[in-house]
Amino acid sequence: MKACILTTAHSPFDERIFHKEARSLAEAGYEVVIIAPYANSLVKDGIRIQAVPPLSSRADRIWRLKAIYKAALEEKADIYHFHDPDLIPVGLRLSRKHKKPVLYDVHEYYGDSLLTRYWLPKPFRRIVAKTVDRVEKWAARSFAGIITVNSHMAGLFQRENPEGEILHNYPLKRQFEFYRPEGIKPPVILYLGGINRERGLEIILRAMPLVREKHPEAVCELVGPAETEDLGPDFFQLNPWLERGKVHLRGKVPYEQVPGILAQSSIALVPLLPTLNYRKAIPVKLLEYMAAGLPVVGSRFGYIEEIIEKNQCGLLCEPGDPESLAQAICTLIENPEKSLSYAQNGWDAFQREYTWEKEQGKLLKLYERILAARKL
């Protein structure tokens, strides 16, 4: 059986798409091809990447739809699985015109996320957000199944299409089986993943100078793509803030380097702002920090608060409050035994409850159900 995975917004080597879903399918015996914007076609770990021309802007995601649709047809796959809302027209055509079983993998609350996108003019945000939400729900009726990432999101789509699965985007257990050095000096404060204003970039930049007033040896590593266009006027000159807080913008790193970065860190941050999207989402980075055995400082709301309190794996700070964030970081630096206890609690909870290996069986059963129904 051939499974064809489509994406425009993600790298073909995205953690969920490639390392979790595609590898799980390949290990189960499926022939797997991923169609995505990339420099060249290749094969990795038995998974074929069929490249379409790389993107030069957000608008390119729309212009690439024709190329992705054509490439998808050429694959003659048994089942198609797409990841981004701009691919809905492609999914509908594959489903309706060509009678192919199509899965829509919904990663986030796309309509809600558009309400805070700086590149979308404010007068149009609410209209665009409502339109995207309605189109998603309407199109869901035509797909073989809907994959979501939490029970709340699943409930929204089940009204339109009862077939699907909740695949929590939990970390891969094998990715976190690495040596953890003891007594890391100086304390390394880590934020892992894409960062911008709503993910707490301004708060970190304001908090780190406060941390260094008490602990001048502390440094902060921001590992992932940074968007600075939406920062406030205080941050037009970014370098002075980076220097005062000893904040290093590392940018995006290869997937294989992430374990080493986690292993060299002391404290991990989830300082998200309480937007509509983040109030309902489970931040994968929080679970990755727990898997790496790191004590966490996270914003006091939503799933962040629930997971940290339930598992006693870190401290909470007030969302958007740099002084609260700085105080929590300092508390962990000054109480190493307590920090170690939080780290151990998080690691234990990850092993017990939050691994991808516990999720992949649901993906395979969903594929089996859909393909079996296709044969009837």
**Residue 137, C-beta contacts closer than 8 angstroms, at least 6 positions apart:** 156, 157, 159, 160
CA distances from 32 to 44, 129, 254, 351 (A): 11, 33, 22, 28
Range in 96-110, 167-181, 307-321 with the lowest mean pLDDT: 167-181
Q: DSSP string spanning 312-359?
A: T-EEEE-TT-HHHHHHHHHHHHH-HHHHHHHHHHHHHHHHHH--GGGT
Q: Which CATH class is domain 173-353?
A: alpha beta
> What residue spans define the domains of the chain?
2-168+359-375, 173-353
pLDDT of residue 58: 64
Task: Decide: 318 and 203 in contact? Cβ < 8 Å.
Answer: no
For residue 128, how far is the Cα from the chain centroid?
23
> Under CATH, what is the fold of the domain 2-168+359-375?
Rossmann fold (3.40.50)
Model confidence over 78-105: pLDDT tens digits? 999 999 999 999 999 999 999 999 999 9
Report the chain's C-alpha Rg in angstroms.
21
pLDDT of residue 59: 65
Name the residue type at position 264: Q
How far apart are alpha carbons 158 and 106 in whole angstroms?
A: 13
pLDDT of residue 259: 83
On the question of pLDDT at 371 being above 90, the answer is yes
Common-topology check for domains 2-168+359-375 and 173-353:
yes
Please provide the average confidence, as pLDDT, over all residues in the chain: 92
On the question of pLDDT at 158 being above 60, the answer is yes
Model confidence over 196-227: pLDDT tens digits? 999 999 999 999 999 999 999 999 999 999 99
Task: State the pLDDT confidence band at 184, using cuts at 50, 70 and 90.
Answer: low
Which DSSP helix (H) or strand (E) runs through 274? none
Task: State the pLDDT confidence band at 117, using cuts at 50, 70 and 90.
Answer: confident
